[in-house]
Amino acid sequence: MQTVVHDHSQAIPRLLNASHENKWVAISSDYSRVISVSDSLRDLLRMVSDTTAIFYKVLPSDVSFAPAASLRA
């Protein structure tokens, strides 16, 4: 029986709430806390020097997300 990875799947709903929606968050590597939050990934990457931090875009809860994209040369 193959192991199922849980690490972030259980942490995300525990750590994040409506205040994080539509923002970028930096989460500690053990998924125990949110280190920092910003509207801008560019700013967050400047603010958080810890290279073990995990960055995540929190999508708003009241929208459907359909990112599928194709290229046009």
Partner 1 sequence: MKYRYSAASGHTNINGRYIKRPVVEVELSRGGHQRKFLALVDSGADHIMMPAAIAEVFQIDLNTCPRRTVLGVSMQPIEGFVSNLTLHINHQKDPFDAPVLFIDTDVPILLGREGFFDLYRIKFEQDHDIFQIVPTRLK
- CA distance linking residue 35 with residue 29, whole number of Å: 10
Backbone angles phi, psi at 27, to 5 degrees: -115, 145
The site that binds partner 1 (CB under 8 A) totals a number of residues, namely: 40
SS3 58: coil
- Smallest gap from Cβ 39 to partner 1, in A, equals 9
* Contacts (CB under 8 A) with partner 1, residues 31-60: 40-42, 45, 51-59
Instruction: Check residue 29 for interaction with partner 1 (CB under 8 A).
Output: yes
Here the tokens at position 9 are: 């799947």
Least CB distance to partner 1 at residue 60 (A): 9
